[in-house]
Amino acid sequence: MTALLVSGATGLVTLAGGLLVLRLQAYRGLVLAFCAGALVAGALMNVIPDALQLLESSHSSFHHHHLLFACTLGFLVFYLFEHAAHHGGERDHPAQYNHSCQVGAWGAAGLSVHSFFDGVAIGGAFEAGGELGWVVALAVLLHKIADGASTVGVMLGTQHSTTVAIRMLFLTAIAPLVGTLLQAVITLPPSILALALGWFAGVFLYLGASSLLPAAHESGHSRWLPLATLAGVAFVFLAQRLAD
């Protein structure tokens, strides 16, 4: 029951982060730059370390280079997907087709899957012991604001409407609760969860660098954009340090 309540709280924090981004649309360029920094930093300082720790604890035949290969594949597959969609769109729908929309939707879905795994981690930690559960819960809660902001940032940065961005935000917000409920019923192999997290870390790196940052610079030419990006990195770093 405690795990479910904590997962519900992480959903509310995720919603708050996403709604804050929507509230600040007048500063779209700065918000997207912040989200880009948070997304890249989250992949490097949160997702990959968590995946490595999960992989080591699983004692499987997979090693860290397999996880980093999954990360590389996530980056490259999304690049190839966007490249193919771009050329297919130019050929079939030159006036209406927007290839970045598909990539953005898949990327935001990746954030939802990451949130789902957060819920799985919360459920598993509370099963292992109350003290460990609260440690994991604090770590998850501290970075959920960035997850909500990044979800909305990815959707807005890839030309989706506000309505669609809100729908994806709700999906990301409810994902931890679903993960906790499923974890109580089905135990997924930790090694597979780790490789999946590695894959999505690569996706997040690609989206932050190739979608959000260019969208931020297209939305405005403020000299504060680099500082906003660094602020996103600093936010994730401080949240991680507090969790540790």
The pLDDT, as a whole number, for residue 133 is 67
The pLDDT, as a whole number, for residue 142 is 63
Low-confidence ranges of the chain (pLDDT < 70): 81-103, 106, 124-125, 127-133, 135-136, 138-139, 142-143, 187-188, 220, 243-244
Q: Give the separation between CA 38 and CA 25, rounded to whole angstroms.
A: 17
pTM: 0.67
The pLDDT, as a whole number, for residue 136 is 65
DSSP 45: I
Check: CB of residue 179 under 8 Å from CB of residue 7.
Answer: yes
Residue type (1 letter), 243: A
CA-based radius of gyration for the chain = 18
Check: CB of residue 57 under 8 Å from CB of residue 190.
Answer: yes
What is the distance between the terminal CA atoms of the chain, rounded to a whole angstrom?
A: 25
52 phi and psi, to 5 degrees?
-65, -45
The pLDDT, as a whole number, for residue 12 is 92
Take residue 21 and report the two structure tokens written for it. 């981004």
The number of C-alpha atoms within 13 Å of 20 and in the hemisphere containing its C-beta is 18
Q: What is the pLDDT of residues 191-237, one digit of tens each?
A: 887 887 788 788 778 878 887 788 788 776 778 899 999 998 998 88
